[in-house]
Amino acid sequence: MQDIKSDNSDENIIDEKFLDSDLDSKIEEVINEHPLSELSEPTYDELLEERDTLKDRLMRSLADLENLRKRSDRDRKDAELYGGTKLARDLLSVFDNMSRALDNIDDDLREKASALVEGLELTQRELLSIFLRHKIDQIEPKEGEKFDPKYHQAMFEAPIAGTEKGSIIQVMTKGFKIGDRLLRASQVGVSSNTDLIKPIFEKSTNMEDKISTSEE
C-alpha cells in the first residue's frame, strides 16, 4: 500500500507569516514606548542640569551627615555632664544635713570633740570637691543682693528697714547648678520694704507747708 505524504509547505508559510507579523507588532510597541528621541544622547545643557542636581543632592547629604555628627556629639557631652543629675539632686540633702550639723556646733563641743568636728568638716569639703569635679557649683547669694527668680526661691517677704524692696534679707539654704542647668534654687527671704515712698510723702508735705506759709 502506497504511503500518502502530505505536503505541509503551505502550513509552514502561514506560520512564518504569523511569526513575522507578531515580531513586527512587538518592534512597533517597543518603538512607541521608547521613542528615538529618548534613546538619543543627552545634550550639553541636560548634562549640566543633571550634574547640578547630583551635586545639590550630594551637598545636602553631606550637610545632613554633619548635622547628625554635631547632634550626636552634643548628646554625648550632655549625657556625660547631666547623666548624674538625679543622683546629684539626692546628695544635696546630705550636704544640707552636714551643714546644719556644723552650724549647730558651739565652741564647747568643738573643744570636747575636735576630732569628730574636724572629720565632719573634711567630709563636707570632700563632698564639695566631688561636686566641683562633676561640674556642680554652689549658688551662694548674699544679703543685700537683688533677688533673681532664675536662681532664687522666695520663701517669705518682710518689710526690713534700711533695705531695698526686692533685695535678699536672709539666706536659708544654698542653691546648686550642674553645668548650665539649675539643680536647686537658693531659698531666701526677700524685703518688701516700702520706705522709698516716704521721701515723696515728705516732699509733698514740705510743699504744702511752703504754700501755707506764703499764704499767711
pLDDT tens-digit map of 143-159: 999 999 999 999 999 99
Host domain of residue 181: 139-216
Q: Identify whether 198 is part of a domain.
A: yes
- Residues (pLDDT < 50) of the chain are 1-6, 18, 37, 196-205, 207, 210-211, 213-216
Residues 92 and 72 placed together within one structural domain of the fold = no
Per-residue pLDDT reduced to its tens digit, 31-75: 666 555 455 677 888 888 888 899 999 999 999 999 999 999 999
Residue 35 belongs to a domain: yes
* Statement to judge: residues 199 and 212 lie in one domain: yes
What local confidence, expressed as pLDDT, does residue 24 receive?
Answer: 64
pLDDT reported for residue 109: 86
177 in the same domain as 120: no
In contact, 170 and 188? CB cutoff 8 Å: yes
Residue 3 inside a domain? The answer is no
Q: Which amino acid is at 6?
A: S
Identity at 163, one-letter amino acid code: T
User: CA-CA distance, 140 to 59, in Å (whole number)?
Assistant: 50
Domain end (from 97, 117, 134): 134
The helix (run of H) or strand (run of E) holding residue 25 is helix 9-33
Q: How many domains does the chain divide into?
A: 3
Q: Please check whether residues 144 and 215 belong to one and the same domain.
A: yes
d(CA 76, CA 82) in angstroms, rounded, equals: 10
User: What predicted TM-score, i.e. pTM, was given to this entire model?
Assistant: 0.60
